[in-house]
């Protein structure tokens, strides 16, 4: 498929290769943010503010979903088929990772019954059984539970699924009941966007670091900014950004912003900053895009969802627990809780301190390599089969709809 774009306004392209690559890079940076292993990388402000890359995912999703579906969401049947396809994109991997956490807790329960002790008893706190139903129905970003549960990063996936449905509903309503109003969809998007920003500013206690409580509102904000970004991209000639400077400027902007944003008022600008980044790199017109146009980055983009979803499981079970076992066997203290604030909670509330300079960096790199390897297997064994299954369900749903109302292209 071609990656080039015509220079005329409104031209479209088959695939945003560089943006997909950035999705993979962002997923790894979020994993670095969550990794509770002290190294020369850990204290960098750019890494400690890495939670904001979740907003990059939201903005990018709004951009890509608008490109892929916005002009084809016209009826309730369109909405139904779209919902099935998006559910199939997210839920299969979500539920498999959730089951992996349940299996790990079950193993803990067996060992605990034989006298083993753990930082947290099995099936307690964030991993209590009564929170499973809410996780299964994508409900952990509405404040129904006052903390992160099971697979902590999955709050954003849940928020994104419901945001998909709201966005699609806006387009369907604008094309049916409000069809007489030329800018109905734009007005609705702007109103929802403004409401989301207002709610975050008024009620978020830690800036943009909202998850289990206001995660859905945070996602709406980023996603709708991404939607507007694509609309701007549609009408912008490529020649306006056909130089090396915009991309280099975006790199400087990302590093500077992520190094200073923190969790105060400045963090609320994250979707706008990432909107500029997505807009510039969508044109693939500079040296950074050429550098990123390779198979390695293509692959990171493909497996980015699996990278994001497996990170916590690997940290809990292949980083924290082996270190805890090593402490018990050797009697050496390898962790500290002093001054540690964990984004994942649970056993990640400890900071692993191996000592030295080289060993922590090597361990960090090994973690990233292992994570990508697991994600690659997950992509082939879980993501792709799940997508194909729900694509067939969407095709069946499309065939059940009246011929005159069949969604054009959504079942493909």
- Of 6-20, 120-134, 279-293, 390-404, the range with the lowest mean pLDDT is 6-20
**What's the predicted TM-score (pTM) here?**
0.90
pLDDT surpasses 50 at 252: yes
| Distance (Å, whole) CA 64 – CA 95 | 24
| Distance (Å, whole) CA 191 – CA 36 | 39
- What is the pLDDT confidence band of residue 183, given thresholds at 50, 70 and 90? confident
| Element housing 351 (H / E) | strand 351-352
pLDDT in tens, 8-53: 333 445 578 999 999 999 999 999 999 999 999 999 999 999 999 9
- Supply the mean pLDDT for the chain: 87
- Residue 37 DSSP label: B
| Distance (Å, whole) CA 8 – CA 239 | 9
Radius of gyration of the chain (CA): 22
pLDDT surpasses 50 at 2: no
Instruction: Answer for the pair 215, 267: CB distance below 8 angstroms, yes or no.
Output: no
The confidence score (pLDDT) of residue 8 equals 33
| Distance (Å, whole) CA 303 – CA 373 | 9
**What token pair was written down for 231?**
């609309």
The confidence score (pLDDT) of residue 4 equals 35
**What token pair was written down for 16?**
């945003």
User: What DSSP string runs through 320-376?
Assistant: IHHHHHHHHHH----EE-TT---SS-GGGGSEE---SSHHHHHHHHHHHHHHHHHHH
| Distance (Å, whole) CA 24 – CA 144 | 30
The confidence score (pLDDT) of residue 13 equals 52
Sign of the alpha-carbon torsion through 89, 138, 77, 180: negative
Instruction: Answer for the pair 76, 161: CB distance below 8 angstroms, yes or no.
Output: no
Instruction: Answer for the pair 112, 121: CB distance below 8 angstroms, yes or no.
Output: yes
Average pLDDT over residues 240-267: 88
Write b or e for each residue in 233-269: b if 16 or more Cβ atoms lie within 10 A of its Cβ, otherwise e: beebebeebeeeebbeebeeebeebbeebbbeeebbb
pLDDT in tens, 306-354: 999 999 999 999 998 888 888 888 888 888 876 565 556 544 568 888 8
| Distance (Å, whole) CA 409 – CA 215 | 31
Residue identified by tokens 């979707």 is 271
Residue 100, number of CB atoms within 10 A of its CB: 16
What lies within 8 Å, CB to CB, of 59 at 6+ separation is 222, 223, 225, 226, 229, 271, 274, 275, 278
Instruction: Answer for the pair 151, 313: CB distance below 8 angstroms, yes or no.
Output: yes
| Distance (Å, whole) CA 19 – CA 297 | 10
pLDDT surpasses 60 at 412: no
Q: What are the residues facing 37 on neighbouring strands?
A: 352
pLDDT surpasses 60 at 1: no
| Distance (Å, whole) CA 29 – CA 279 | 20
| Distance (Å, whole) CA 12 – CA 345 | 43
User: What DSSP string runs through 263-275?
Assistant: TSGGGGGHHHHHH
User: Both ends of the chain: CA-CA distance in Å?
Assistant: 17
């Amino acid at each position: 498929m071609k990656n080039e774009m015509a220079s005329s306004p409104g031209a479209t392209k088959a695939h945003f290769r560089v943006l997909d690559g950035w999705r993979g890079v962002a997923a790894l940076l979020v994993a670095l943010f969550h990794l509770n292993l002290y190294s020369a990388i850990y204290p960098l402000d750019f890494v400690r503010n890495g939670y904001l890359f979740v907003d990059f995912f939201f903005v990018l999703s709004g951009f890509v979903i608008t490109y892929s579906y916005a002009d084809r969401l016209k009826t309730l049947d369109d909405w139904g088929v779209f919902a099935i396809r998006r559910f199939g994109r997210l839920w299969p991997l979500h539920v498999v990772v959730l089951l992996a956490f349940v299996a790990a807790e079950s193993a803990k329960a067996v060992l605990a019954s034989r006298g083993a002790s753990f930082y947290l008893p099995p099936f307690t706190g964030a991993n209590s059984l009564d929170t499973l139903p809410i996780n299964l129905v994508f409900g952990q970003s509405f404040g129904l539970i006052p903390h992160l549960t099971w697979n902590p990063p999955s709050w954003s996936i849940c928020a994104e699924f419901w945001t998909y449905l709201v966005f699609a509903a806006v387009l369907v309503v604008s094309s049916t009941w409000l069809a007489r109003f030329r800018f109905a969809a734009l007005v609705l998007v702007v109103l929802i966007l403004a409401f989301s920003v207002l709610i975050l500013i008024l009620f978020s206690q830690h800036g943009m670091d909202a998850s289990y409580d206001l995660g859905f509102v945070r996602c709406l904000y980023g996603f709708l900014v991404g939607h507007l970004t694509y609309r701007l991209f549609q009408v912008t000639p490529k020649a306006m950004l056909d130089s090396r400077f915009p991309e280099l400027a975006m790199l400087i902007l990302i590093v500077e912003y992520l190094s200073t944003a923190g969790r105060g008022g400045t963090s609320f600008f994250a979707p706008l900053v990432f909107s500029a980044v997505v807009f510039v790199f969508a044109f693939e017109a500079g040296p950074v895009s050429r550098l990123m146009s390779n198979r390695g980055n293509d692959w990171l983009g493909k497996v980015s969802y699996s990278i994001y979803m497996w990170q916590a499981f690997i940290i809990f079970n292949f980083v924290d627990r082996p270190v805890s076992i090593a402490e018990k066997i050797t009697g050496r203290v390898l962790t500290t809780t002093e001054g540690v604030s964990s984004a994942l909670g649970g056993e990640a509330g400890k900071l692993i301190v191996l000592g030295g300079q080289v060993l922590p960096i090597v361990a960090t790199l090994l973690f990233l390599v292992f994570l990508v390897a697991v994600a690659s297997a997950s992509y082939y064994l879980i993501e792709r089969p799940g997508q194909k299954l729900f694509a067939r369900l969407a095709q069946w749903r499309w065939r059940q709809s009246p011929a005159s109302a069949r969604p054009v292209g959504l079942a493909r």
